[in-house]
Amino acid sequence: MTQKQLRAPIAEAMKNYANDGALAFHTPGHKQGLGAHPLLKRLITKEGLREEVSLMEELDDLHEPEGCIRDAQTLAAELYGADHAYFVINGTTGANHAMLMGTVKPGDTVLLPRNAHRSLTGALILADARPVFLQPEISERFGIAMGVTLETVKKAVKQHPEARALILVYPTYYGVTFDLKAIADFVHAHNMLLLVDEAHGPHLRFSEELPLQAIDAGADAAAQSTHKIIGSMTQTSMLLTKGPRIDAERMRQAVSLLQSTSPNQLLLASLDIARLQMAEDGERLVGRAVRLAEELRGKINAIPGLYCFGRRDMTTPGASGLDVTKLTVNVQGLGMSGREAEHILRYEEYIECELSDAYNVLFIISYADTEREAEKLLTALRHLAVHRRNGSAFHVTRALPPVPRQVLTPREAFFDDVERVPFDASDGRIAAEQVMFYPPGIPLLVPGDRIDTVTLAYIREQQQLGLKVTGPEDPQLRTIKVIRENTKGVRHE
């Protein structure tokens, strides 16, 4: 780490501007807090409102940075070992959109796993790319999607030699990683880009006990949710790029195109400060999270009815490594679903998990956690085990369905004529909207998919478990939007 890492250029520029004393006859309307409602003042603080300005010369321009924002992005790129770091204020959704818009052209074929986040479907629509969905490996034991194998990638490239890019999710929401370096070497040898949704990996670089971050494993671009795991404000992310395959100016234009021209300076400063915190103390803080998580994992596995998978379980296809700070606790042995466990933990133990699915509840141990929080979580899980039910382990009847057949591209389906039909009578129709459970936000139906009975049955079963449906206009799934019959869309088969 260099000495210059120990400063926060954006935060410094904001403070200097606020202390300059210039009378504000410019946006925002609250005029540096003078007109702010008391609730807003308590929420943001007087100092925060004084510094909540943007577009002043001293505060630089996110779209054409030449001052403090440029310096902050340069420091971030250096810390993460990238050529460029772009600050993004509309989350990793925006970073994923820009990543595709900055690398592919309309009509390009891209390969991506079906467990990709919903934001990548949006990116496909915006970029007018033609997706080829890859089936990730499925863990029957835990009921979750793992990673994509090199063999699956090789097969897809052989079938689609025209593919421009491979998009991967690394690590998965559950922390699972795979041999990204081997995949990077393979796709680069076939003149393809490797783009990575690394939403859950902004901390990986700060511990040798964690898997390689995507850029270090050979990715050309990686979108990281700085706010999810380390210390920036919600809605802030970074897009990292490295290597000669990325056109830096085109990427800058794509990032600019998809962001507000009035960025919130507090959000930008939080990215700068999160980078500073990792530069100052990242190895110790992330190292503590790793230690706490591993200690918790061992103690959780001593609780009858619970099991938290670890590194030793990552020996199946599509899983070779694990971000151990993700604690996926399988509750099948208690005779209950993950959703039931989440409800008990939240309303009886006052513990909020990151997500629940049919079999598991997921907890994130971050750099902010200490022994105190770890002990509270462990106590809550011990109390949860008291609810253990006699009889066999909880089990759903249906496994994750295979990838539906794609009839239209997401963009074609998005702009086609649609109609609403009863969900239970939509077998054989072409989906015109996404259907997923959030979190984790992995689509089960994507616009352009041929709806099939297996997928319909799986969605219904997950819905009956109480998992939250997102994506469709009707979240109760009484109806679903499909491509109107006898229109141009149907003839794309």
Q: What are the structural domains, with CATH classification, of the chain?
A: 3-279 (3.40.640.10), 283-385 (3.90.1150.10), 410-492 (3.90.100.10)
Q: Write down the pLDDT at residue 319.
A: 96
Q: Is the pLDDT of residue 271 over 50?
A: yes
Residue 15 in tokens: 């403070």
Q: Is the pLDDT of residue 490 over 70?
A: no
Distances (CA, A) of 456 to 48, 394, 424, 426, 452: 49, 21, 7, 8, 6
Residue 114 in tokens: 């079906």
Cross-strand pairs, 193? 165
Q: Is the pLDDT of residue 16 over 50?
A: yes
Distance from CA of residue 222 to its chain's centroid? 11
- Helices 68-80 and 9-18: angle between axes, nearest 10 degrees: 160
What tens digit of pLDDT does each residue of 172-182 get? 999 999 999 99
pTM flag (> 0.85): yes
Q: Is the pLDDT of residue 366 over 90?
A: yes
Contact 447, 124 (CB under 8 A): no
Q: Write down the pLDDT at residue 489.
A: 46
Lowest mean pLDDT among 158-162, 167-171, 311-315, 478-482: 311-315
Q: Is the pLDDT of residue 470 over 60?
A: yes
Find the angle CA(82)-CA(107)-CA(158) to the nearest 5 degrees. 75
Q: Is the pLDDT of residue 96 over 90?
A: yes
| CB crowding 392-425: b at 16 or more within 10 Å, else e | eebebeeebbebbebbbbbbbbbebebebbebee
What tens digit of pLDDT does each residue of 177-199 get? 999 999 999 999 999 999 999 99
Confidence band, pLDDT 50/70/90 cuts, at residue 150:
very high
